[in-house]
Chains A and B, each alone.
Chain A
């Protein structure tokens, strides 16, 4: 069992080891939907929600697999559980909050193949977090993801109005920006020890 404090875990997963800018996880949505500020915010919200649910599921699943002594099934069952959780969550959100469902739109089903979600589940298992620690870790990861996405969307909205050379347009420009953002986030590495 890991005995890091909750605050350290939160700061660690959201700022110091930001999932997008330090671990390069969830880059596809990061490059894909960071064009506009509102969609970026919604995507971040959806990812955070799914991360929290997936994290709780992964914790239960690990206990179950250890009980039946089959750790090699970890990956297969995790991906199946995440895929079905996303499906269930989609139905639940549609039933209980149509407004939120409309806001999230296509992003909810797409999240299944987002590597950040699976990574949250894998990292919390390998680090041996407890249930509460896992949830805080997932929340931090989600907040960090949203932060990176929103910052990037803001930058790209400004850049869209500027003149850039033709060869740089598109993914390359976004990657350059991400590199600079990543440099900025390295400044956080002193926080929390």
Chain B
């Protein structure tokens, strides 16, 4: 993407939005949004994946709904309308998970309901879907949602692997591996997320550095 995205420019392709959410503007690692659910349920890979998929579904549906209704919603009450749309969708998802797996529902607990106040969803509804068409909003939501799933999975996999030596409940590091229990507890969540943020920042600066140096020389 060499073209800088301003409102006056022609609209970029929808694949750009997709990749944008997945990597360049990754909601968790780059924008640091939606941290609450990210940290709370990422103690095992399967929980993290389920939570990520639930959030992504809500994000996609809410972006689509908001985008379709964007000309009907009065400006003054738009935030409340968005929140009500999101809350209805979350209630549906909550019931759905309860129907599919009661164990998973118990493990995720109140955090499914808390998807309502996930800043990513309201942020995309207000920041993107309210001014763009359904197709582009859908692509944007898919990209952001997958970025979120990716981030949650990275976090959950590392925490489970280090904390109990397994991945998706399968022992990987051998029977004699002494689990690093603190990684499954709250502090571990903070440390692992900090580690990923540092890694992302480091990679970003590593890849950006040659360009800025060249620009500085000329």
Residues of A within 8 A of B (CB): 21-28, 31, 72, 75-76, 79-80, 83, 113-115, 118-119, 122-123, 126, 166-168, 171-173, 175-176, 178-180, 182-183, 186
Contacts and interface: CB of A to CB of B under 8 A. Distances in A.
Contacts of A123: 110
A107 B129 CA distance: 26
A28 B117 CA distance: 11
B39 interface: yes
Interface of B: 32-33, 35-40, 80, 83-84, 87-88, 90-91, 94-95, 109-110, 113-114, 116-119, 122, 182, 185-191, 193-194, 197-198, 201-202, 205
B181 to A, nearest CB: 11
A91 to B, nearest CB: 16
Q: What are the 5 tightest A-B residue pairs by CB atom distance, in nearest-first order? A: A179-B190, A175-B194, A24-B39, A172-B197, A27-B35
B194 A176 contact: yes
A152 to B, nearest CB: 12
A26 B36 contact: yes
Contacts of A179: 187-191, 194
Interface centre among A28, A80, A172 (most CB of B within 10 A): A172
A183 B187 contact: yes
Given A24-B35, A25-B36, A166-B205, A182 B197 contact: no
B80 A83 contact: yes
A80 B186 CA distance: 30
A167 B182 CA distance: 25
A179 B193 CA distance: 10
A151 to B, nearest CB: 14
B202 A167 contact: yes
Nearest to A117: B117
Given A27-B35, A80-B83, 16 more contacts: A24-B38, A24-B189, A25-B40, A28-B33, A75-B87, A76-B91, A79-B84, A79-B87, A115-B114, A115-B117, A115-B118, A118-B113, A122-B110, A167-B198, A171-B32, A182-B190
Contact of A23 (B40, B113, B116): B40
A28 B90 contact: no
Nearest to A174: B194
B194 A167 contact: no
B84 A76 contact: yes
Given A24-B35, A167-B201, A186-B185, A80 B80 contact: yes
Contact of A182 (B88, B109, B187): B187
B39 A122 contact: no
A28 B40 contact: no
Nearest to A79: B87
A122 B188 CA distance: 25
A119 B117 CA distance: 10
B80 A75 contact: no
A83 to B, nearest CB: 6
Contacts of B188: 179
A168 B193 CA distance: 12
Nearest to B95: A72
B190 A175 contact: yes
15 contacts: A23-B40, A23-B186, A24-B36, A28-B36, A75-B90, A75-B116, A76-B87, A76-B88, A79-B84, A80-B83, A80-B87, A167-B202, A168-B198, A172-B197, A186-B186
Contacts of B90: 75
Given A26-B36, A76-B91, A182-B186, A175 B114 contact: no
A172 B198 contact: yes
A172 B36 contact: no
Contacts of B110: 119, 122-123, 126
